[in-house]
């Protein structure tokens, strides 16, 4: 099959996973990684992974299937950065949905879902590993489902959909007057390279990065 991966951010950490998936499946499929919808070649499957562009119906028509990977239990959690918002709300697990792309944001029929527990101690890079591994598994599942002639299921109408807004740099600001034990759950989900947690104090701005060290006991 002719498969296109569209990830509009070259800096996004998922790119290492996409390169791995491309190398694994390139033997049996013709796979192209694109950064802009204007470069899409058309084909059988278009995967949208961490894509910030709107893919209109005319663009989708150049593919048999246009599929989105979205880290929420749809129809709950439509919109931007759903797994970050959910973890900030206290979620202990993340559901990743594989769905059809439609004109309405995250409204398409569902092909598959997978739920992964997120340990309370996990930092952003560990969360990324769990999330991106699950996304690759769903991409594998998509190939199997399409080859088997399966069809997606419309999102249930009896669940009221919820939406998350797009995050801004200000969403990473924390209050230095609060104890670290209260701030940990917020700081741990912030990517220190792309949207670091920060605070203002003494007329300056400081960023924070957590690193997990090996457990040890004092002798």
Please check whether residues 36 and 138 belong to one and the same domain.
yes
Instruction: Say yes or no to pLDDT of 219 above 60.
Output: no
Is there a domain that residue 74 lies in? yes
Please check whether residues 21 and 89 belong to one and the same domain.
yes
If one counts every other C-beta atom within 10 angstroms of the C-beta of residue 85, the result is: 21
Please check whether residues 88 and 189 belong to one and the same domain.
no
Q: Residue 216's pLDDT is what?
A: 57
Give the residue from 62, 48, 52 showing the smallest Cα distance to 142.
48
Q: Residue 158's pLDDT is what?
A: 87
Residue 12 sits in a domain of what CATH number?
3.40.50.170
Please check whether residues 137 and 189 belong to one and the same domain.
no
Instruction: Say yes or no to pLDDT of 165 above 80.
Output: yes
Mean pLDDT, residues 135-151 taken together: 98
Those residues whose C-beta lies under 8 Å from the C-beta of residue 34, and which sit 6 or more positions away, are: 4, 5, 6, 7, 40, 41
Please give the full DSSP string across 26-78, using - where no structure is assigned.
Answer: TTTSEEEEESSGGG---EEEEEESS--S---HHHHTTEEEEEEEESS-TTTTE
Q: Residue 193's pLDDT is what?
A: 87
Please check whether residues 92 and 177 belong to one and the same domain.
no
Please check whether residues 150 and 194 belong to one and the same domain.
no
Please check whether residues 106 and 187 belong to one and the same domain.
no
Q: pLDDT grade, residue 157 (50/70/90)?
A: confident
Q: Residue 176's pLDDT is what?
A: 96
**pLDDT tens by residue, 70-123:** 999 999 999 999 999 999 999 999 999 999 999 999 999 999 999 999 999 999
| Alpha carbon distance 77, 15 (integer Å) | 23
Model pTM score:
0.93
Residue 188: domain span: 169-208
Cis peptide before 197 (omega within 30 of 0): no
- Quote the DSSP letter at residue 165: P
Tokens of 109: 């029929």
Q: Average pLDDT of the chain?
A: 95
**pLDDT tens by residue, 179-199:** 999 999 999 999 998 899 999
Instruction: Say yes or no to pLDDT of 172 above 70.
Output: yes
**Contact between residue 19 and residue 62 where contact means Cβ atoms under 8 Å apart:** no
Please check whether residues 158 and 175 belong to one and the same domain.
no
Mean pLDDT, residues 122-129 taken together: 96
């Amino acid at each position: 099959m002719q498969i296109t991966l569209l990830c509009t951010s070259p800096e996004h950490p998922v790119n290492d996973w996409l390169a791995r998936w491309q190398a694994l499946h390139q033997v049996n499929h013709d796979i192209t990684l694109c950064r802009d919808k204007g470069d899409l070649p058309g084909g059988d499957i278009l995967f949208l992974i961490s894509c910030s562009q709107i893919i209109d119906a005319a663009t989708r028509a150049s593919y048999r299937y246009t599929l989105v990977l979205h880290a929420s239990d749809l129809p709950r959690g439509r919109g931007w950065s759903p797994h970050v918002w959910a973890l900030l709300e206290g979620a202990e697990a993340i559901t990743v949905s594989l769905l059809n792309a439609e004109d309405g944001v995250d409204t398409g029929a569902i092909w598959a879902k997978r739920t992964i527990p997120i340990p309370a101690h996990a930092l952003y890079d560990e969360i990324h590993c769990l999330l991106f591994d699950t996304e690759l598994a769903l991409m594998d599942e998509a190939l199997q489902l399409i080859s088997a002639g399966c069809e997606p299921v419309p999102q249930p109408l009896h669940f009221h959909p919820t939406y998350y807004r797009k995050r801004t740099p200000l969403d990473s600001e924390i209050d230095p007057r609060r104890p670290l034990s209260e701030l940990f759950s917020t700081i741990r989900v912030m990517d220190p390279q792309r949207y670091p947690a920060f605070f203002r104090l003494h007329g300056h701005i400081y960023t924070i990065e957590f690193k997990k060290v090996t457990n040890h006991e004092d002798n």
